[in-house]
């Protein structure tokens, strides 16, 4: 399984970016695909994610209404559209995926549940 992110960069507050993640070799029937981020000096946190068992996407509270996770029809690309970016969104953003049982609550996802990670792409938001 390989995940390769692209689309990071530097923007001013209020700007927009779209991150892309190319997935290959991913064949799980029950799975989760997510974007995480890690700001300098802080731990990794989930941002936006979707489980195959639930027909909805999830976002952390601080990005609701501003970030959207989406997929292409082939399931080989994952996107994170980010609008109204804030300086506190500055971080390395990681695309991640893994198997995820249907009995588990998608909203309970944590990074230990994820098996595969991209190398990350840096997003810098200046005030």
User: Rounded CA gap, 22 and 5, in Å?
Assistant: 7
Residue 100: predicted pLDDT: 92
Residue pLDDT tens, the chain, 127 long: 999 999 999 999 999 999 999 999 988 889 999 999 999 999 999 999 999 988 889 999 999 999 999 999 888 999 999 999 999 999 999 999 999 998 899 999 999 999 999 999 999 999 9
Residue 74: predicted pLDDT: 87
CB 80 within 8 A of CB 48: yes
């Amino acid at each position: 399984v390989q995940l390769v992110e692209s689309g990071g960069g530097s923007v001013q507050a209020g700007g927009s970016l779209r991150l892309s993640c190319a997935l290959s070799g991913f064949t799980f029937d029950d799975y989760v695909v997510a974007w995480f981020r890690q700001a300098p000096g802080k731990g990794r946190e989930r941002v936006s994610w979707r489980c195959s068992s639930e027909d909805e996407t999830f976002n952390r509270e601080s990005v609701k209404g501003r970030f959207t996770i989406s997929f292409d029809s082939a399931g080989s690309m994952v996107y994170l559209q980010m609008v109204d970016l804030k300086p506190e969104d500055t971080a390395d953003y990681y695309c991640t995926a893994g198997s995820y049982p249907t009995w588990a609550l998608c909203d309970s996802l944590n990074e230990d549940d994820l098996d595969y990670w991209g190398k990350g792409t840096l997003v810098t938001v200046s005030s």
